[in-house]
Amino acid sequence: MADFPIGMAVSAGDENRSMLDIQAKQETIAHHFSQLTAGNIMKMRYLHPQENTYDWTEADELVSWAETNGLSIHGHTFIWHSDYQVPDFMKNYIGDANGFETLLDSHVTTIADHFRGKVDSWDVVNEALHQQGDGVGVGEGNCYRNSLFYQKLGKDYLANAFTAAKAADSGADLYYNDFSTEGGDDDKFACLLILVDDLLDNDIAIDGVGFQMHVQIDWPSTDDIAAAFQAIVDRGLKVKITELEVPVNNPWGAASFPQYTSFSEAAATRQKARYKAIVETYLTTVPANLRGGITVWGLWDGDSWLLNLSERAGSDDWPLLFTGDANGPYEPKPAFYGVAEALSEE
C-alpha cells in the first residue's frame, strides 16, 4: 500500500448502483483502496437543498462506512458551477453582493464544520476556470468561468471559500480542482497558475491543487503532465490526482474512431502502460511530502461516466481498473497491475 491515499470515486445514498447496496463493491474497495470520494452526494444541492435546510443523511452514511472500514474521505465539493448542482435558492437570490457572500460563506462553513475531523481533504472550489467552448472567460486573462458565483462576487468567491473552510476545519487539506490543466491546454494551465498565485499572494489557505486527469490513452504526454505537476510543487503545494481514468478510444485522436472495438490484448497492454506511466510520473515529479494521493473515477468499466458521453455514442470503452458484472465479482485488469507495479517500484 502506498504511503499516500489511493482513492476510489463511488456512488452512494439513493444513487443508482450505490456501493452501499452492492456487497461486492464494498469488499473490493475496502481491500484495494484507502480513500473514498463521493461522486455526487457531497455536492451543493445534495447537502444544502434549501437556504435553511441541510441534509446530511446520505453523506453521513458513506462517511460512517469509510470510518468503519478504515478508509479516509476526500470531500467533493463545496462549490461547483454546474446548473443541476447549484441550489435554486442560490440561483434565485435577489439580495446584494454582501448578502450573497454571507450566504455562500455560511454554506461552506456549515458543511466544513459538520464534517470536521471526519473528512481529510476537500475540493473547495471545482472547475472555476474558463474552458474553451463554455462561453467567454472573464476576469484576469479571461481566465474565469462566468459562473453564478463569479457574477455575484467576482474572483473573490474563491478566496472567501478557502478562508471559510480553513476557519471551520483547520485540519483538512484544501484543494482547488479542475480538468484539462495537466497538459495540452496551455491557456488553461496558465490560468490555473494565475488563480493559484493570486491565492498564495494574498495568504489564502490553499494546500494543494487537484488535477482531475480525465486523460486519453495518447494525450497529454507524460512530459506535459510532469511539467504541470512540477509547477505546483515549485509553489510548495500538494498535488492530488482526483478523477483519473484512461479510456482506450480517443474521439479526438488522429486515427478513425473507435480505435478499438473490443477490449483486446493490445488495448489492455496499452492501457496498462499508460496507467503505469501516469503513476510513475506522479511519483517521480511530486516529492513524498506533497503527494495528496491518486483517485480513480469509478471502480469497474460498466460504471464509468464516459459511457454516456455523446461524443462516444455507439462505441464501447473500458476506462477503469476492474471488469466484471453489475453486481460483481470485479476482477482486476492489466491496468490495475500497472498501477500496482508503479507503486511497488518506487
Cβ neighbours of residue 308 closer than 8 Å, sequence gap 6 or more: none
Cβ neighbours of residue 125 closer than 8 Å, sequence gap 6 or more: 77, 78, 79, 80, 157, 158, 161, 162, 176, 177
Q: How confident is the model at residue 254 (pLDDT cuts 50, 70, 90)?
A: confident
pLDDT tens, residue by residue, 45-93: 999 999 999 999 999 999 999 999 999 999 999 999 999 999 999 999 9
Q: Give the active site residue among 58, 101, 182, 243.
A: 243
pLDDT tens, residue by residue, 23-52: 999 999 999 999 999 999 999 999 999 999
CA 187 to chain CA centroid, nearest Å: 20
Q: Give the active site residue among 127, 182, 245, 280.
A: 127
Question: Residues 190, 194, 197, 202: what is their CA dihedral angle, to the nearest 10 degrees?
Answer: 180
Alpha-carbon distance of 100 to 105, in angstroms, equals 8
Phi and psi, residue 255, nearest 5° = -80, 165
Q: Residue 162 pLDDT more than 90? A: yes
CA 239 to each of CA 62, 234, 283, 287: distance values in angstroms, whole numbers, following the listed order: 25, 11, 11, 9
Active site residue 243: yes
State mean pLDDT over 135-155. Answer: 89
Alpha-carbon distance of 8 to 293, in angstroms, equals 11
Q: What percent of the chain has pLDDT over 90?
A: 91
For residue 331, the cross-strand partners are 323
Indicate the pairing of strand 121-126 with strand 291-296: unpaired
pLDDT of residue 346: 73
Angle at 151 between CA 145 and CA 155, to 5 degrees: 65
CA 18 to each of CA 11, 23, 134, 226: distance values in angstroms, whole numbers, following the listed order: 5, 10, 31, 35
Q: Which CATH superfamily is domain 6-344 in?
A: Glycosidases (3.20.20.80)
